[in-house]
Chains A and B, each alone.
Chain A
Amino acid sequence: MYGKHMVLKEDIQSVVVDGVGTGFTVKTKIPYYRGIALSLIDDVSIRFDGRLFPKEELTFTTRDGTFTFKEMATMTQHRWEYGEKATVFVPLPGGIPLGFHRVETTVSIRVSYLGGAHPFTVVHENVSPMGG
């Protein structure tokens, strides 16, 4: 279910500020059957055409605001709800370049009753700045 519905291809889009691409965003739902406190997000990473963007380079936006992963490590009152699309910003100067690209989105949640982090990855091929 998460493989199909967590990230939709149209949810990967360039961010343009004042006519200049500053990066791109990936809107993602949680790969888990309930919502959680933000501190329980163990890891998020985006791989764009083989280039890895670790969580330290990303920001995460929920209904409550935009946060770094360092901030989220202690955020126990703010939540990422089940089915809510959060927005991951990936700094890539120029935005998504012309052509077709491969985007891998990995989200890893700490599931206490399973004793640790559970990564889930979704891959999108043929992502283009023109959209679908």
Chain B
Amino acid sequence: MGIKRSISFYSFQQNYYTGRRNLRQLLEVASRTIGSPGIELIPEQMPVGSYPVPSEAAVEEWKGWLTEYGLTPTCMDSFIDTMLYRDRFLTRKEQVAMMERDLVLAKRLGFPVIRVLCPVRKEVVEASLDLAAKHDVKMGLEIHAPMTIRSRWITEYMEMVQKSGTKHAGLIIDFGIFQMRPPRKALENAKRAGAKPEILDRICALQESHRPVGEMMAEIARMGGGDVERGVAASLARSVFSEPEWLRDYAPYIQHCHGKFLEMDEDCNETAMDYETPIRILKEIGYDGWISSEYEGQRLYTGAEEADEIEQVRRHHVMMKRYIGE
């Protein structure tokens, strides 16, 4: 019961891409190095056998690894490529077929929930409700910035879910909606590129009070900033803040959380997102589920520097334990 720790393997994308570690080795890291009880997978990124239909042998091997490392599958990330063909969008029927393909795979791999990408239309989820019930896998629409918990897209989707009475559709919360400031690494990069510290401070202050990027740009111009400062502000364009209190709106429908993060400092604090308040509220509303660490700071490193994905996730778990009270 309560909040449990998981890792989205999205966090380890660089390790996998460069061939440094394969899926099995990453499972070992998740379990032995980080001590995570749960894992989340994007099977199109790190296929179990092959995607979308692995062999029985591959599925058995996967289950063996999970047992060996004591890991619980928490959520599987699904995509619906509506632009599969150059000249037309997929029809609703075709999109539902893709949804079913992923529901079936999730069932086989042991995942109880699939992440449905934010832009997937509610009509597609609605038309997939019977399939989700049949395979007994839940669909969670991800609330991801620049969407907020109170965006019309979410309101209309939740009207459909509540009206249907389904137990197989709900929400996944991405902690990127609680971003309070640029990650420390982005500010360090900007300073190194010649940004004025007082302008960066101003940008941070404006973001903490949830002011729009347009206002930041005007301030940067007024204070004599240039391209570097404008670049920092522009990087925040998709960061739209949701009040953590809004988590109460749909409490029984929250199926899973992505603990999106950009940079953990040496004391295991996230430098961009608020974690303390949302986790406190999740506890208050009785959230009984997982938070998967989802590290996305790789892109902040350029040139010879490389992100240390494993150390970043380790620190994130130290922080989560602190706030969960584990």
Question: Which A residues fall within an 8 A CB radius of B?
Answer: 1, 3, 5, 29, 33-37, 39-40, 42, 73-74, 76, 79, 81-83, 110-113, 116
Complex A-B: 27 CB contacts under 8 Å: A1-B14, A1-B301, A5-B18, A33-B10, A33-B42, A33-B45, A34-B44, A34-B45, A35-B47, A35-B51, A39-B84, A40-B83, A42-B86, A73-B85, A74-B85, A76-B84, A76-B85, A79-B51, A81-B47, A83-B16, A110-B81, A112-B80, A112-B82, A112-B83, A112-B119, A113-B117, A116-B83
Known contacts A40-B81, A83-B16; A113/B118 CB under 8 A: yes
Contacts of A116 in B (CB 8 A): 83
Assembled-state Cα–Cα distance A54/B221 (Å): 42
Closest to A74 in B: B85
Say if the beta carbon of B246 comes within 8 Å of chain A: no
Per-residue 0/1 for B268-303: is the Cβ within 8 Å of any A Cβ (1 yes, 0 no)? 000000000000000000000000000000110110
**In terms of DSSP, what is the predominant structure of the interface of chain B?**
loop
Say if the beta carbon of B17 comes within 8 Å of chain A: yes
Assembled-state Cα–Cα distance A5/B15 (Å): 11
Interface size on B, residues (CB 8 A): 28
Contacts of A83 in B (CB 8 A): 16-19
**In terms of DSSP, what is the predominant structure of the interface of chain A?**
mixed
Closest to A116 in B: B83
Say if the beta carbon of B13 comes within 8 Å of chain A: yes
Contacts of B65 in A (CB 8 A): none
Assembled-state Cα–Cα distance A33/B79 (Å): 12
Contacts of A40 in B (CB 8 A): 81, 83-84
Assembled-state Cα–Cα distance A82/B43 (Å): 10
Contacts of A82 in B (CB 8 A): 13, 16-17, 44-46
Contacts of A73 in B (CB 8 A): 85-86
Chain A CB within 10 Å, residue with most, of B86, B298, B301: B86
A114 to chain B, nearest CB (A): 9
Assembled-state Cα–Cα distance A125/B18 (Å): 22
B3 to chain A, nearest CB (A): 27
Is B298 touching A39 in the complex (CB atoms < 8 A)? no
A30 to chain B, nearest CB (A): 9
Assembled-state Cα–Cα distance A74/B51 (Å): 18
Per-residue 0/1 for B8-29: is the Cβ within 8 Å of any A Cβ (1 yes, 0 no)? 0010011011110000000000
Contacts of B298 in A (CB 8 A): 1
